[in-house]
C-alpha cells in the first residue's frame, strides 16, 4: 500500500526538475509587445530571441503548434545565420521539450542530443556546462519515463560531473542527489539509494523546503522496504513539521498535505492495524481533495476508503465509495483507479452472491486492465522503435561525417604539399599555375561531394520521418484487423450460438411463441449479432480485401444511404485495374474519415465521391453541400483532418481543401501511383 505515495513523489521529481530549461514559463506573456519587437527589429539576436519566446509560448501554452513551430524554425535560421550559439541552443531545447510533451521520443531524443553536441560551441564556459547539463537531464527524463532507469542513471552521473565543476549551490546538489537515489530505489538497490540520500542530508538546512520534503519521501520508501515502522513514523513526523515552513506556498502545502494524509492512513492501516484512525486520515484527505477540486485524488481516495471498508466487512459503505470512484475515474479516463474500483466491486458483489453485478464489474476490470496493458506495451514498443531508428540514423550520419572529415583531411594535406612545392619552385610559374588549377578543380569536386553528402543526410532524416509514420499507420491497421477478427469470430460467434439455442427452445416449447418477453429477447439478440457484424465489417471490410477499393467504397456509400440521413453517390473513371493492397487500404480509410466528418459536422444532404485515374495519376474529389466552415479558423486542424493529412502525406500525395460557409466543402487529393 505504501508504494502509492512513492510513485507520486517520483513523478513530481521528474516533472519539476528533470526538464530544466531557460525558456518561457507558463505565465502570460505580452504577445503584442513581442510581435512589435519582431516586426521592428533588424535581423539580430534581439529579434531572434523574441521570435523564440513567442514561438515557445504558442506551442507550449496556447496549443498553436503549426504556427509556433514555423516561427521557431525561422528563429533558428536567424540564429544560425548570425552564429548566435545561445539562441540555437534555446531553439533546440524548446523543440526537445515540445516533442517530449507529445511523447514523440525519436524527435525529442534527436533535439536533446543536438543540444548536447551544440553546447561546446558556446563561448562562455559556465553557460556551456549549464546547457550540456540541461540536455543530459532531459535525456535522463525521457529514459526514466520509459522505465529505462539504468540509462537514465548514466545520464544523471554525467550531469552530476558537470554540476560539480560549476560550483553549484546546495539546492542544485540536493536535486541531483535525490534523483540518483530515486533511480537506485527503482532498480532495487536500497544501499546505493541511502548512500546518495546521506550526501543530501547535510545540505537540507541551506536548501529550499520542498527539497526536504522530497528527501524524506525517499527515506519513507526505503523505510517501508525494510518494514521499519518507527522509521516510517519518524519520516511522517519530519514531513509534517516541514509544513510549518513559511516559505512554502499555499499550493505546495495543500499538495504536501494530500500525500501526508495518505501516508498516515497507510501507516495506521499497515503497521498499527488501527482501522478507525486510517479511515479518519482518508476522510481528511478526501475533504481536502474535494476543496481543491482535484479529481484524480478524489477518486483515488474514494477507492482507498472503499478498500478499507470492504476489508472491515462494511460492504454497503464500501460499495458506495467504490461506485463513485469507478464512475468518476472512468469518466475522466483515470484507468488505473477505475480498474482497482471495478475489481473490488466485483469481489464484493461475488461475496454477496449478486452474480450479475459481480460479472459486470469483473468484466469492466478485465477490459480496463487490457487497455492499460495494451497502452503500456504500445508506448514501450514506440519508444524501442524510436530508439532503434534514431541509433540507426545516427550511425549513418556519423559514417557520412567521418567520410567528410577524411576527405577534408586529404584535401588539407594536398594543399600543404602544393604550397611547399610552390614555394620551392617559385621560378617555375607555368608548373605552379598548372598545379593550382588542378587543385582548384579538386576543391570544387570536394565541395560537390560535401553538398551531396549533406543531401544524403537530409534524405535519411526525411526517410526516418516516413518510417515512423509507416510504423504508426501499420500499427493502426494491425490493431483494427485484430479487433475486427475478435468481434467477428468471438462475440459474433457467441451471438449466433445464442440465437440458434433460442430458436431451438422456441420450437421445443410452443408456449414461448406467444411469450412477448421471449420474442423481444430473440429480436434483441438478432439485432446485436447484426450490429457486431457491422462494426467488424467497418473496421476491416471484406469487400476491400477480396474485390477492391471501388466496390468497397460503393458498399460504404450504400450503408450510409440506408440510414437516409444523407445521399452519397460515387463516380469513377479508369479504375478497372486494382491498386496495391496497402494503397487501397489507405485510400479507403481516407474516404471513410472524410465521410464521417461530413455526417458529424457538415449537416449536408448530398455528398459526391469521384475517382479519376489517368495512367499513373489518380485524382480523388469528395464534395458536400453542407454548411462549410471558415478557412481562416485556427481550429481547422481537427483530429479527423490531421488523420487524413497524415495518410495523404504517407502516400506522397497532395491535399487541398476549399470550403465556403452555407455552400459546402470540396476536398481534392492527387497521387502518383508509381511512387506508392
pLDDT at 8: 39
> Residue 243: which of 264, 227, 229, 225 has the closest Cα?
264
> Looking at the predicted structure, is the pLDDT value of residue 671 above 90?
yes
Q: Which residue has the higher pLDDT, 111 or 145?
A: 111
Gap between the Cα atoms of 292 and 411, Å rounded:
68
pLDDT at 1: 39
Instruction: Indicate the SS3 state at residue 620.
Output: strand
pLDDT at 568: 94
Give the lowest-confidence range in 11-25, 43-57, 199-213, 424-438. Answer: 11-25
> Looking at the predicted structure, is the pLDDT value of residue 228 above 50?
yes
Instruction: Indicate the SS3 state at residue 19.
Output: coil
Using pLDDT thresholds of 50, 70 and 90, give the confidence band for residue 676: very low
Q: Which residue has the higher pLDDT, 6 or 271?
A: 271
For residue 102, count other CB atoms closer than 10 A to its CB.
12
pLDDT at 493: 61
Distance between alpha carbon 550 and the CA centroid of its chain, in Å? 35
Using pLDDT thresholds of 50, 70 and 90, give the confidence band for residue 10: very low
Give the lowest-confidence range in 102-116, 132-146, 392-406, 585-599. Answer: 392-406
Q: Which residue has the higher pLDDT, 39 or 13?
A: 39
Gap between the Cα atoms of 294 and 122, Å rounded:
44
Per-residue pLDDT tens digits for 489-511: 566 566 667 766 676 776 777 77
Task: Return the biggest CA–CA distance within the chain.
Answer: 124
Gap between the Cα atoms of 644 and 649, Å rounded:
9
Per-residue pLDDT tens digits for 299-331: 999 999 999 999 888 999 989 999 999 999 888
Q: Which CATH architecture has domain 543-675?
A: 2-Layer Sandwich (3.30)
pLDDT at 25: 41
Rounded to 10 degrees, what is the CA torsion of 457, 89, 130, 118? 30
Per-residue pLDDT tens digits for 545-570: 888 899 989 988 998 898 888 999 99
H/E stretch holding 465: helix 429-485
pLDDT at 7: 36
pLDDT at 386: 57
> Looking at the predicted structure, is the pLDDT value of residue 405 above 50?
yes
> What is the DSSP code string of 503-534?
HHHHHH-GGGGG-HHHHHHHHHHHHHHHHHHH
Q: Please state the rounded mean pLDDT for residues 189-208.
A: 86
Per-residue pLDDT tens digits for 520-533: 777 777 767 666 65
Give the lowest-confidence range in 220-229, 256-265, 329-338. Answer: 220-229
Residue spans of the domains in the chain: they are 425-533, 543-675
> Residue 90: which of 131, 43, 120 has the closest Cα?
131
> Looking at the predicted structure, is the pLDDT value of residue 484 above 80?
no
For residue 140, count other CB atoms closer than 10 A to its CB.
28
Mean pLDDT over the full length of the chain: 80
pLDDT at 4: 39
* C-alpha cell read off for 214: 522530497
> Residue 590: which of 576, 609, 573 has the closest Cα?
609
Gap between the Cα atoms of 135 and 21, Å rounded:
9
Gap between the Cα atoms of 341 and 331, Å rounded:
13
Measured distance between the N- and C-terminal CA atoms of the chain, rounded to whole angstroms: 54
> Looking at the predicted structure, is the pLDDT value of residue 276 above 80?
yes
Distant-in-sequence, close-in-space partners of 92: CB < 8 Å, separation ≥ 6: 76, 111, 112, 114, 115, 118
Amino acid at each position: 500500500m505504501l508504494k502509492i505515495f512513492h510513485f507520486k513523489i517520483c513523478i513530481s521529481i521528474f516533472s519539476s526538475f528533470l526538464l530544466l530549461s531557460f525558456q518561457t514559463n507558463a505565465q502570460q506573456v505580452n504577445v503584442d509587445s513581442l510581435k512589435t519587437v519582431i516586426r521592428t527589429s533588424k535581423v539580430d539576436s534581439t529579434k531572434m530571441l523574441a521570435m523564440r519566446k513567442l514561438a515557445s509560448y504558442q506551442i507550449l501554452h496556447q496549443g498553436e503548434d503549426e504556427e509556433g513551430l514555423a516561427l521557431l524554425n525561422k528563429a533558428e535560421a536567424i540564429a544560425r545565420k548570425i552564429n548566435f550559439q545561445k539562441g540555437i541552443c534555446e531553439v533546440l531545447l524548446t523543440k526537445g521539450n515540445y516533442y517530449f510533451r507529445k511523447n514523440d521520443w525519436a524527435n525529442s531524443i534527436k533535439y536533446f542530443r543536438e543540444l548536447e553536441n551544440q553546447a561546446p560551441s558556446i563561448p562562455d564556459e559556465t553557460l556551456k556546462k549549464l546547457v550540456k547539463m540541461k540536455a543530459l537531464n532531459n535525456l535522463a527524463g525521457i529514459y526514466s519515463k520509459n522505465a529505462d532507469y539504468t540509462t537514465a542513471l548514466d545520464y544523471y552521473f554525467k550531469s552530476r560531473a558537470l554540476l560539480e565543476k560549476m560550483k553549484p549551490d546546495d539546492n542544485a546538489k540536493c536535486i541531483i542527489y535525490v534523483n540518483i537515489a530515486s533511480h537506485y530505489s527503482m532498480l532495487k538497490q536500497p544501499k546505493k539509494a541511502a548512500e546518495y540520500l546521506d550526501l543530501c542530508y547535510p545540505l537540507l538546512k541551506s536548501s529550499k523546503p520542498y527539497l526536504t520534503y522530497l528527501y524524506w519521501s525517499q527515506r519513507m520508501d526505503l523505510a517501508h522496504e525494510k518494514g521499519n515502522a518507527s522509521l516510517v513514523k519518524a519520516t511522517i513526523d519530519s514531513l509534517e513539521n516541514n509544513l510549518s515552513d513559511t516559505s512554502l506556498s499555499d499550493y505546495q502545502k495543500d499538495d504536501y498535505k494530500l500525500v501526508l494524509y495518505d501516508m498516515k492512513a497507510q501507516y495506521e492501516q499497515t503497521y498499527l492495524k488501527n482501522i478507525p484512525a486510517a479511515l479518519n486520515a482518508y476522510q481528511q484527505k478526501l475533504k481536502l481533495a474535494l476543496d481543491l477540486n482535484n479529481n484524480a485524488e478524489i477518486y483515488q481516495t474514494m477507492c482507498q476508503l472503499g478498500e478499507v471498508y470492504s476489508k472491515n466487512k462494511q460492504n454497503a459503505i464500501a460499495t458506495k465509495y467504490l461506485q463513485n470512484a469507478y464512475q468518476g475515474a472512468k469518466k475522466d479516463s483515470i484507468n488505473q483507479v477505475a480498474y482497482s474500483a471495478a475489481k473490488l466491486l466485483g469481489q464484493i458483489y461475488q461475496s454477496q452472491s449478486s452474480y450479475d453485478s459481480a460479472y459486470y464489474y469483473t468484466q469492466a476490470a478485465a477490459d480496463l486492465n487490457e487497455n492499460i496493458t495494451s497502452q503500456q506495451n504500445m508506448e514501450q514498443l514506440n519508444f524501442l522503435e524510436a530508439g532503434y531508428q534514431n541509433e540507426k540514423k545516427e550511425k549513418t550520419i556519423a559514417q557520412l561525417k567521418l567520410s567528410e572529415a577524411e576527405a577534408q583531411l586529404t584535401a588539407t594535406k594536398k594543399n600543404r604539399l602544393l604550397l611547399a612545392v610552390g614555394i620551392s619552385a617559385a621560378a617555375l610559374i607555368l608548373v605552379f599555375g598548372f598545379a593550382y588549377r588542378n587543385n582548384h578543380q579538386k576543391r570544387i569536386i570536394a565541395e560537390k561531394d560535401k553538398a551531396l553528402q549533406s543531401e544524403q543526410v537530409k534524405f535519411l532524416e526525411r526517410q526516418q520521418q516516413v518510417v515512423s509514420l509507416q510504423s504508426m499507420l501499420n500499427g493502426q491497421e494491425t490493431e483494427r484487423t485484430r479487433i475486427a477478427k475478435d468481434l467477428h469470430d468471438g462475440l459474433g460467434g457467441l451471438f449466433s450460438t445464442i440465437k440458434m439455442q433460442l430458436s431451438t427452445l422456441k420450437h421445443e416449447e410452443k408456449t414461448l411463441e406467444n411469450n412477448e418477453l421471449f420474442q423481444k429477447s430473440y429480436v434483441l439478440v438478432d439485432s446485436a449479432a447484426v450490429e457486431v457484424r457491422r462494426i467488424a465489417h467497418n473496421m476491416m471490410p471484406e469487400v476491400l480485401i477480396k474485390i477492391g477499393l471501388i466496390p468497397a467504397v460503393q458498399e460504404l456509400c450504400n450503408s450510409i444511404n440506408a440510414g437516409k440521413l444523407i445521399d452519397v453517390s460515387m463516380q469513377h473513371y479508369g479504375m478497372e485495374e486494382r491498386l496495391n493492397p496497402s494503397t487501397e487500404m489507405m485510400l479507403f480509410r481516407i474516404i471513410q474519415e472524410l465521410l464521417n466528418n461530413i455526417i458529424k459536422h457538415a449537416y449536408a444532404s448530398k455528398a459526391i465521391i469521384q475517382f479519376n485515374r489517368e495512367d499513373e495519376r489518380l485524382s480523388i474529389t469528395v464534395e458536400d453541400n453542407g454548411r462549410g466552415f471558415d478557412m481562416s479558423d485556427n481550429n481547422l486542424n481537427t483530429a479527423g483532418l490531421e488523420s487524413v493529412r497524415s495518410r495523404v502525406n504517407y502516400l506522397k500525395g497532395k491535399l487541398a481543401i476549399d470550403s465556403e460557409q452555407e455552400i459546402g466543402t470540396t476536398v481534392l487529393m492527387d497521387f502518383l501511383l508509381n511512387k506508392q
